[in-house]
Copies of this chain bind each other. A is one copy, B any other.
Amino acid sequence: MKVFERLESEVQSYARSFPVVFDRAEGAHLYDNKGKAYLDFLAGAGSLNYGHNNPVLRDALIAYIGADGITHSLDLHTTAKAMFLEAFEACILKPRNLNYVMQFTGPTGTNAVEAALKVARRVKGRDQVIAFTNGFHGVSLGALALTGNRHHREAAGVTTTNVFHMPYDGYMGDGVNTIAYIDKLLSDNSSGLSIPAAVVVECVQGEGGITAASAQWLRDLETLCRKHDILLIVDDIQAGNGRTGDFFSFEEAGITPDMVTLSKSLSGFGLPMAVTLIKPELDIWEPGEHNGTFRGNNHAFITAAAALRTYWSDDTFQNEIKEKAAYLRRRFNSIQSRLSHEITEVRGRGLMQGLVFKTPELTGEICKTAFSNGLVIETSGPNDEVVKCLCPLTIATSDLAEGLNILEDAIIETLARHSADCAAE
């Protein structure tokens, strides 16, 4: 551990919650350097939807490297990239009747968001963009402006500009239709809100507390964008790649964004990769205008193509996710109704669900307790008030059940300890 203390910046965060040294991993399990196993309900913050070292992907990757396949290729054409493009077209775009071109941005979600913002601003000739309360879209300066969190935004040392945060679905309470409010602001020439180039939205807010927008709200948002000539960008970095049960999180609502950002689980193996999907008529890029060294991560192309061919050639995988999601919901509902004095709500969709706690101070302790019992699980939300499940989509049902058992026990134990403390005071 000492080398980390000596040489790593204080910026590290997850390492503080899980203070061991991890060594290897397989499927839904992580192993530390003492051999202790952990069920992984964090899964790289949604980057390991197909589990750790998924054997199909791993074997394809080892074979590729062993044959001296190209690793780094800038934006050159390679066999590996062609394989990915063909797989994405065949398994994802065609079956969904979607027509997008793909921009391989720098291999991070934030870079995909930066690219989408550039396209939107130039296509519309407008500087400003709407994002939503509690949204998270990255920390490079352009994407950071979209991110709701002050902790992240103020870290920039400069004030971010050109973004206005509007209330997400449900933000103003049950009675208030936030789309109607945004419509009023956009329709009122004197509201102070300029017509933006784009709206950037997550269909399920990961960092923001595992809050899912309703399908109706998303459809209303699309209608609003069309009405005011605004581009609709879905940031599907965390909720995409099957996390909600469909490949894209927006499929349930039946909307068609103008651009979509994908990253995290896109490579399927945890390798850095990101793309921005752009409607062909919006692809106004001149050659090289948005460049970067690692746009062509061929290892990621190989594993991504394998993941798409393996899991998205038919609807078997989707159905499995939805079954597991239903099971997760039942378990979370049961925990919530049993502990409704403290757990106010079950939130989310698919295998992206969370329990909302009245007392945010408890969630850290719950996760700590779970960790000591062999479960890696994290919090979310503006005040870390949500304990979230982001397990691999490929998790065995028995592992899912076991993880939830550990979690439930950790909650009960923590609440009991807390009640005892309160009584003692």
A162 contacts which chain B residues (CB < 8 A)?
158-159, 161
Whether A401 is near chain B, meaning CB under 8 Å from some CB there, is no
A245 within 8 A of B: no
Question: Which positions 76-117 of chain A face chain B at CB distance < 8 Å?
Answer: 76-79, 81-82, 85-86, 88-89, 101-104, 106-111, 114-115, 117
For residue A352, give the distance in angstroms from its CB to the closest CB of chain B.
Answer: 15
Shortest CB-to-CB span from A407 to chain B, Å, is 19
In the assembled complex, A409 has its CB within 8 A of some CB on chain B: no
A283 interface residue per 8 A CB criterion: yes
Query: Closest CB-CB distance, A237 to chain B, in whole Å?
Result: 8
Contact yes or no, B138 A292, CB < 8 A = yes
Query: B11–A103 contact, CB under 8 A?
Result: yes
Are B293 and A44 interface neighbours, CB within 8 A? yes
Residue of B nearest to A382 (CB): B190
Question: Given known contacts A9-B102, A108-B111, is B1 in contact with A77 (CB within 8 Å)?
Answer: yes
Beta-carbon nearest neighbor of A136 in chain B: B190
Q: Does A419 contact B (CB under 8 A)?
A: no
> Are the CB atoms of A292 and B108 closer together than 8 Å?
yes
Q: B102–A11 contact, CB under 8 A? A: no
Complexed CA–CA distance, A237 and B176 (Å): 34
A66 interface contact, C-beta 8 A = yes
What chain B residues lie within 8 Å of A35 (beta carbons)? none
* A22, A111, A125, A152 — most chain B CB neighbours (10 Å): A22
Classify chain A: how many residues form its interface, as a range.
35 or more
A241 within 8 A of B: no
Task: For the complex, give the distance between the alpha carbons of A142 and B158 in Å.
Answer: 10
- Residues from chain B with Cβ under 8 Å of A3 in the complex: 82, 85-86, 89
The CA of A40 and the CA of B194, in the complex, are separated in Å by: 35
Tell me the residues in window 119-134 of chain A with beta carbons closer than 8 Å to chain B beta carbons: 119-122, 125, 127-128, 131-134
A189 touching B290 by the CB < 8 A rule? no
Q: Which residue of B lies closest to A44 (CB)?
A: B72
**Knowing A3-B86, A189-B382 touch, does A19 contact B133 (C-beta < 8 A)?**
no
Q: Of B33, B72, B148, B154, which one neighbours A191 at CB under 8 angstroms?
A: B148
Is the C-beta of A58 less than 8 angstroms from some C-beta in chain B? yes
Chain multiplicity (copies):
4
What is the minimal beta-carbon distance from A238 to any residue of chain B, in angstroms?
Answer: 9
In the complex, what residues of B have CB within 8 A of residue A299's CB? 271, 299
Could you tell me if B140 and A79 are in contact, using CB atoms closer than 8 angstroms? no
Distance (Å) between the CB of A217 and the closest chain B CB?
17
Q: Is the CB of A25 closer than 8 A to any CB of chain B?
A: yes
Which B residues are CB-close (under 8 A) to A15?
A: 75-77
A29-71 Cβ-contact flags toward B at 8 Å (1 or 0): 0100100000000101111100011000010011001111111
Q: A107–B272 contact, CB under 8 A?
A: yes
Rounded to whole angstroms, the CA-CA distance of A406 and B155 in the bound complex is 50
Chain B hits for A291, CB < 8 A:
11, 13, 139, 152
Give the distance to chain B from A79, nearest Cβ to Cβ, in Å: 5
Type the 1/0 row for A357-380, where 1 means its CB is closer than 8 Å to any CB of B: 000000000000000000000000
Q: Does A10 contact B (CB under 8 A)?
A: yes
Give the complex CA separation of A270 and B296 in angstroms: 10
Q: Are A118 and B71 in contact (CB under 8 A)?
A: no
Q: How far is the CB of A93 from chain B (nearest CB, A)?
A: 8
Contact digits for A1-31, partner B, Cβ 8 Å, 1 yes 0 no: 1011011111111111011111111100010
Q: Cβ of A216 < 8 Å from any Cβ of B?
A: no
Could you jot down 7 A-B contacts, CB within 8 Å? A6-B85, A52-B68, A58-B65, A106-B139, A107-B107, A147-B192, A159-B161
